[in-house]
């Protein structure tokens, strides 16, 4: 039979284990909770910066900032047409893109290193679409004319890279066909070498499809947007 001192030690040890487990559970799932919102979107970009001398830290920081600015630019490209973006390029460069840190909820570094004198860093960031839309409205460049709403049928070209198992692709296709609002049909064009190409007939545009797919919870993988236009999306699939 254990002594009272031994029992207290076991109790404290178990309590600590429970506390540590709870803390780890929170911090592991917190980014997923942030992503699971209609007002956010995951974007994957690669930033670069020239390395001067032996100190790589400034180049690394600049490359991260470059990748985040690119992510904001892609979200802006989802919300306004290329023509509007060109006409208001100065306003966007002065008032939207420099505020990239205000729009980033969280980010994860996927790959980094120096290549040919450039610090390259690939980042998957979660951005607030709501905040970007708000600031575009303040500039007067966000209108409802360009973005199709539900009821407007479009064909969205979808490319998915990084597929490791056919079962994962099958899960994704089933989600597209049965779990995404507004999707009428999915036409597989080709699949192989870890890449799938599809045409998705749906009511809405690419940004609606991207947002809905990223709200889906997949057991074995996650999706992030690598490229997006009004009628095309390129996703990267990553194993969980």
Which of 40-49, 86-95, 230-239 is most confident?
A: 86-95
pLDDT tens digits, one per residue of 62-116: 999 999 999 998 888 878 877 888 899 999 999 999 998 899 988 989 889 999 8
Q: What is the mean pLDDT of the chain?
A: 80
For the chain, what are the domain ranges? 40-139, 153-239
- Asked if 121 contacts 64 with a C-beta cutoff of 8 angstroms, the reply is yes
Nearest alpha carbon to residue 47 among 110, 133, 126, 92: 110
Q: What is the mean pLDDT of residues 136-148?
A: 71
User: Is the pLDDT assigned to residue 24 strictly greater than 90?
Assistant: no
Rounded CA separation 225/236 (Å): 6
Higher pLDDT, 11 or 26: 11
User: Is the pLDDT assigned to residue 29 strictly greater than 50?
Assistant: no
Q: What is the mean pLDDT of residues 136-156?
A: 70
Task: Kindly state which CATH superfamily the domain 40-139 is placed in.
Answer: FlgT, N-terminal domain (3.30.1660.40)
The number of beta carbons lying within 10 Å of the beta carbon of residue 55 is 9
Tokens of 33: 């909770």
Question: For domain 153-239, is the CATH number 3.30.70?
Answer: yes
- pTM attached to this predicted model: 0.57
The number of beta carbons lying within 10 Å of the beta carbon of residue 68 is 22
pLDDT tens digits, one per residue of 171-218: 999 999 988 888 889 999 999 999 999 999 988 778 778 877 877 788
User: Is the pLDDT assigned to residue 56 strictly greater than 80?
Assistant: yes
pLDDT given at position 18: 43
User: Is the pLDDT assigned to residue 41 strictly greater than 90?
Assistant: no
Per-residue pLDDT band for 35 (boundaries 50, 70, 90) equals very low
- Asked if 38 contacts 90 with a C-beta cutoff of 8 angstroms, the reply is no
pLDDT given at position 6: 54
Higher pLDDT, 154 or 145: 154
């Amino acid at each position: 039979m254990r002594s009272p001192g031994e029992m207290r030690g076991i109790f404290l040890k178990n309590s600590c284990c429970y506390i540590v487990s709870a803390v780890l559970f929170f911090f592991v799932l917190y980014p997923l909770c942030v992503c699971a919102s209609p007002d956010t979107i995951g974007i994957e970009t690669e930033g670069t910066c020239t390395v001067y001398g032996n100190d790589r830290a400034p180049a690394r920081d600049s490359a991260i900032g470059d990748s985040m600015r690119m992510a904001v630019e892609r979200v802006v490209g989802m919300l306004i047409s290329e023509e509007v973006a060109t006409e208001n390029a100065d306003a966007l460069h002065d008032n939207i893109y420099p505020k990239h840190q205000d729009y980033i909820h969280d980010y994860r570094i996927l790959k980094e290193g120096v290549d040919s004198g450039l610090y390259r860093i690939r980042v998957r960031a979660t951005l607030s679409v709501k905040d970007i839309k708000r600031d575009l409205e303040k500039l007067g460049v966000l209108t409802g004319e360009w973005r199709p709403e539900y009821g407007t049928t479009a064909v969205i070209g979808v490319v998915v890279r990084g597929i490791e198992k056919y079962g994962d692709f099958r899960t994704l296709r089933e989600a597209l066909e049965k779990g995404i609002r507004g999707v009428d049909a999915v036409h597989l064009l080709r699949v192989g070498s870890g890449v799938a190409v599809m045409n998705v007939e749906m009511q809405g545009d690419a940004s609606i499809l991207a947002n809905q797919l990223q709200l889906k919870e997949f057991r074995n993988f996650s999706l992030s947007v690598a490229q997006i236009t009004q009628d095309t999306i390129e996703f990267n699939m990553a194993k969980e």
